[in-house]
Amino acid sequence: AMSEIMAQRVRRILTSAARDGIQLASFEQPEPMSQFEHFRHLTSVYAASGRPDWVFFSDDDDIWSEHRYSIWKSQCIAANSSVTALLCRRKAMPKIVRSSEKQTHPLETRAAPKDGHAVRELIRAGQVRLTDANEPDSVARAEQNMPEYFDFAVRFVTLEQFFMRAPRVLTEHKLCDLGFCHLLTRVHEAHRFMPDGPDEFVYYYASLPEGTSRQVAGASGINVQQDDFDLARDSLIGGCHFRAVRLAFANPAFGLTGAQELRNCAVFVAELRQSVTQELVRMRATGSVIPAQLLAGACTHEARVSLEAYDLPNTPELFSWANELANGVLRNFVLHALEFEAVVDWDTWQVQLIRTERSAMEILDVDCGYSNKDGIVRTRIGPWVGGMQPPPSISIGRKAQRFGSE
C-alpha cells in the first residue's frame, strides 16, 4: 500500500505519459493487495476483453535493457505452439567477491548505472557480471542465478490456468513468485534462451546487502515471531539436544547473556521456518497433496543449509535438533498455513490428513491414481508432476554469520 501523496504522484505520471502518446492501461485498487493478487485481477480483466497471446513481467526497481521489449517480442513470435513459457537465462548483476570462506558481497561500482548503456560499460569494466540460470555461479551461491518471475514470458492461457488452479492462500502469500517460477521451470519446462550479443541482458539487478540474495533482501525478509522465541526457549532449557543448542548459541568469548543467547536461537528458528516455507510454497503451486519423501527431503535439506549459513558447529547433535524442528513443528505449522490437504507416502500409499474436506481414499483416487480397464491404478501423478526429486539447491541464499561476532 502507498500513501495518498505517492498515489497522487503516480496518477500525475500516468496522465503525463498518456499526453505524450504512451499507451498504458492502469488499474488502481481500493485496498492493499499482494503482488500476485494484482496479477490475478489483470488476468481477469484481459480474459474478458482483448486477450493477448503472451505476457511478460516488469520489475519496478531494476534497470531494464532498452532492447527488452524487442527481445521478448522476437522470442514469443519464434516460439512453436508447444511452448507455454519462455525463460531468459541471463541476468546482469553486480560482480560478487568473496571476503571469507563463507561470506560474499557485491563489488562496489564507481557509480550506480542509470540505464542499459551504463550497465554495459560496467560489464566491459569487469564490475558487473552476466549470470546464467543454467549454471551455478562459481563465486556466489547457486541461488543468485535462480530465475525470478520477471525472467519469464508466458502464454496468456498459461497464466489464466495458473490463477484458475492456485488457491488464494498461495496468491495472497508474499512468496507466491517462488511457486509460480517453480511451476514454470519444473512443470511447464519453460523454453530457455540467451539474448543475442555478448553483453545483452534483460534486467540489471541493483546492489544487494552483503551476502544476501535478492529474494531474502525483498519479500522474504525474516520476521522473528513470538512462536520462534518460544521454540528457542524450549530448545535451550530442555529436550535431548539442549546442551548442544546452548553451546552453539552461547559464545563465552563475547560475554553473551541469557537474553542474547535466546535472541540468537530465535533468529535461527525464524530463518529455518522461513526456509521451510519457501520450500513448501514451491510445492503448493503443484497441488494440495504433498509426497512424504519430498517433504522430508526438503526439510532436512533446509536444516543442513541453515546450520551452514549461520556458521554453527557441524555436530550430529545440533543437526538432529535442527532436523527435528524442520521436520516437526515448523513443517506442520507451514502445512496448515498453506492449506495442504494431505501428506502421502509414495511407497506405502499411507495418507496423513491435514484437512478433512476429502477422505484418504478420495485423495488417493483423484491425486495419486488414474483409471484403466482394471480399475484405479496407483501412480505418482498429480502433485509429483514435474520431477520426482527436489531440485539440487532450492534454498534461498543468505548471509553466513557467526553469532556474537558483531
Residues 93-142: tens digit of each pLDDT: 888 665 555 555 555 555 678 899 999 999 998 888 898 998 866 655 55
Give the count of beta carbons closer than 10 Å to the beta carbon of residue 380: 14
Q: Which pLDDT score is estimated for 373?
A: 59
Top-ranked range on mean pLDDT: pick from 139-143, 205-209, 314-318: 314-318
* Residue 185 predicted with pLDDT over 60: yes
Per-residue pLDDT of 388-398, as tens digits, reads 333 333 232 33
Residue 400: band (very low, low, confident or very high) from pLDDT cuts 50, 70, 90: very low
* 91 band by pLDDT with thresholds 50, 70 and 90: confident
Residue 218 has pLDDT above 60, yes or no: no
Residue 389 burial (C-beta neighbours within 10 Å; 0-12, 13-18, 19+): exposed
Average pLDDT score, the chain: 81
Q: 2: which DSSP letter?
A: -
Predicted local distance difference test score (pLDDT) of residue 145: 75
Residue 43 pLDDT > 90, yes or no?
Answer: yes
Q: Above 50 in pLDDT, residue 314?
A: yes
| Overall average pLDDT of the 281-305 stretch | 92
pLDDT score at 271: 93
Inter-residue contact 364 to 350 (CB < 8 Å): no
Cα–Cα distance measured from residue 309 to residue 393, given in angstroms and rounded to the nearest whole number: 14
pLDDT at 99: 55
Length of the chain counted residue by residue: 406
Lowest mean pLDDT across 21-25, 205-209, 312-316, 329-333 = 205-209
User: Of 278, 261, 260, 263, which is closest to residue 226 (Cα–Cα)?
Assistant: 263
Express as a percent the part of the chain with pLDDT over 70: 78
Please indicate whether residue 186 or residue 385 has the higher confidence score (pLDDT): 186
At residue 121, the pLDDT reads 92
* Set of cell numbers at residue 36: 500476485
Which pLDDT value is given to residue 105?
Answer: 54
d(CA 364, CA 57): 37
Q: Are strands 375-378 and 96-98 parallel, antiparallel or unpaired?
A: unpaired
pLDDT score for 324: 96
Find, among 372, 265, 276, the residue nearest to 326 by Cα. 276
In terms of pLDDT, which residue wins out, 46 or 379? 46
Closest to 162 measured CA to CA, from 218, 215, 85, 86: 85
Q: What does the block give as the cell for 85?
A: 513459457
DSSP H helical segments within 166-241, as ranges? 168-171, 176-182, 214-217, 226-237
Q: Specify which residues 291 forms β-bridges with.
A: 344
Q: Distance between the two ends of the chain, CA-based, in angstroms? A: 34
- Inter-residue contact 155 to 54 (CB < 8 Å): yes
Beta bridge partners of 338: none
Residue with grid cell 542474547, as numbered in its chain: 260
- Quote the pLDDT of residue 72: 96
Mean pLDDT, rounded, for 161-181: 95
Question: Rounded distance, CA 91 to CA 196, Å?
Answer: 13
What number of helices (H) and strands (E) belong to the chain?
Answer: 15, 15
Q: Which of 53, 68, 214 is nearest to 148 (CA)?
A: 214
